[in-house]
Amino acid sequence: MGKVTNFARFYALLKRMPGNQDGLKEQLVLTYTGNRTSSLKEIKQSEYDAMCASLQETLDGNVGAAEFKARIKGYRSKVLHWLQVIGIDTTDWDRVDAYCLDSRIAGKVFRKLTIPELEALVPKLKAIARKAKEKPAPVKKQQSALVPQSDQDALAMLLNLSIHSLN
């Protein structure tokens, strides 16, 4: 097999790896080339494919398709539950998408959210729900309505109004 000339896949995966990435590239290349080289330019296609597949599995959490679907379904359900608690109509996908599109919430439509994004969204929504619950409802100031309780009150109100209007 030939040598690899395009390393975009590797660098995209490497960028997604958590933690400090200093020296990680060299360690990975050494591992997958059997300590033959630490340079990506000298890696074989089969070694490159194995290394990228391993990185992808690490990032995906070694989940199969069925397990992935179950995990994403669970997180979507949690997010939809908290959206309902907040007061978003979850039967209307346009409203759900519009809420999720807000950059302060997720910045994407709901169906495009990944598992890590859904995981991060649950605590945000819980905090929003908690703060909404803690915030007291706005108190409306009652206007002092001129409503008489009895005939005497009505007469007194009329007399007061006429006296004040004359002054």
| pLDDT exceeds 70 at position 145 | no
For the segment 37-43, the average pLDDT, to the nearest whole number, is 90
Give the range with max mean pLDDT: 50-64, 66-80, 128-142: 66-80
Give the range with max mean pLDDT: 27-36, 56-65, 139-148: 27-36
Q: How far is Cα 28 from Cα 35, in angstroms, rounded to an integer?
A: 10
pLDDT of res. 167:
47
Per cent of the chain over pLDDT 70 is 77
Give the range with max mean pLDDT: 68-72, 102-106, 130-134: 102-106
pLDDT of res. 153:
73
pTM over 0.85: no
| pLDDT exceeds 90 at position 79 | yes
| pLDDT exceeds 90 at position 125 | yes
